[in-house]
Amino acid sequence: MWVVAACGSALFAGLVAVLGKLGVQTTDSDVATAVRTCGVLVMAWAAAALAGSIGSIGSLSLKTWIFLVLSGLATGASWICYFKALSLGDVNKVVPIDKSSAVLAALLAIVLFGETANLAAKLVCIAVILAGTLMMVERKDAAEHATGQGWLAYAVLAAVFAALTAILGKIGIDGVESNLGTAIRTCVVLAASWGIVVWKGKAGLVGRIDRRELVFLVLSGLATGASWLCYYFAVQTGVVSVVVQIDKLSVLVSIAFAWLALGERLSRRAAIGLVLLVAGTTVMTIFA
């Protein structure tokens, strides 16, 4: 069941990238992150209510609260960097870097959680995934670099924070119903994202969001909420080092929709990298 949930997470996460890109054409990335988090919050608490887990919030330990908050902060930081990168670069270039967080998360899971079954095979798969990711990162030409400078740094930071999210989330939801854990973390992300908007003096930009982009941001938030619910159920009930790899297959969905909606194309080198990434992920799942 956790494998199915992880696949659902990948599907919805893939939609997030393209919907998010369409939502930050003219909208400030910090404002976009804050707005879309509102949609995630509604969906997360609705799921927790349907699961009947809200009543157990008073029984959460201090340790659980600490790690849920830390996980939420890491998620907020990852989102802010991710959508900034999307506003500067192509989906086909930003997404593979973000998905490289799977490599770091898998290594941390092996060290921290002792997920060492079939360790040699896992390490080989991680190496293949990393090689594929690096092949998908292509240099910009001079003109493109001038208009999109800085996307790579933001994408790398997004990946680092995303890896921390997976590990902190695993610790934080130990013994906590997954929907409730997701809802609490979303509150932290909401507070952090809106806090940054206010701190940077961008609150006035909210009323200037293009209506079409607002629709895409709301849809992106709903897709994120669905992805989270699937992801944290899979993390709680499955093998973290494998769940994060399946989730990162959302790159396939992102690239497919980027091709259809944005007209972005993969080069031959990037296509080979994508094959390596998918192959490494598939084999790692088999050896779970």
Q: Which long-range CB contacts under 8 A does 47-56 form with residues at least 24 apart? A: 47/179, 47/182, 47/183, 47/225, 47/229, 48/177, 48/179, 48/180, 48/182, 48/183, 50/179, 51/177, 51/179, 51/180, 53/177, 53/179, 53/180, 54/180, 54/183, 56/176, 56/177, 56/180
Domain that holds residue 191: 2-51+59-92+156-264
Whole-model pTM?
Answer: 0.70
| Residue 125 maps to a domain | no
C-alpha–C-alpha distance, residues 96 and 285, integer Å = 19
Q: Is residue 277 part of a domain?
A: no
**Which residues, in sequence order, are CB contacts of 183 under 8 Å at separation 6+?**
41, 44, 45, 47, 48, 54
Instruction: Establish if 8 belongs to a structural domain.
Output: yes
The tens-digit pLDDT sequence of the chain (288 residues) is 788 888 888 888 888 878 888 888 889 989 999 998 998 898 889 888 877 889 888 888 888 888 888 988 998 898 889 888 888 888 877 877 776 776 777 777 777 767 667 778 778 888 888 888 778 776 554 444 444 557 888 888 888 888 888 777 677 666 677 788 888 889 999 999 999 999 999 999 998 999 999 999 999 888 887 887 787 778 777 877 677 667 767 777 788 878 877 777 878 888 888 888 778 877 776 665
Residue 143 located in a structural domain: no
Q: Is 45 part of a structural domain of the chain?
A: yes
Domain membership of residue 272 (yes or no) is no
Give the count of domains, the chain. Answer: 1
The reply to whether 241 falls in a domain is yes
Kindly state whether residue 133 falls inside one of the protein's structural domains: no
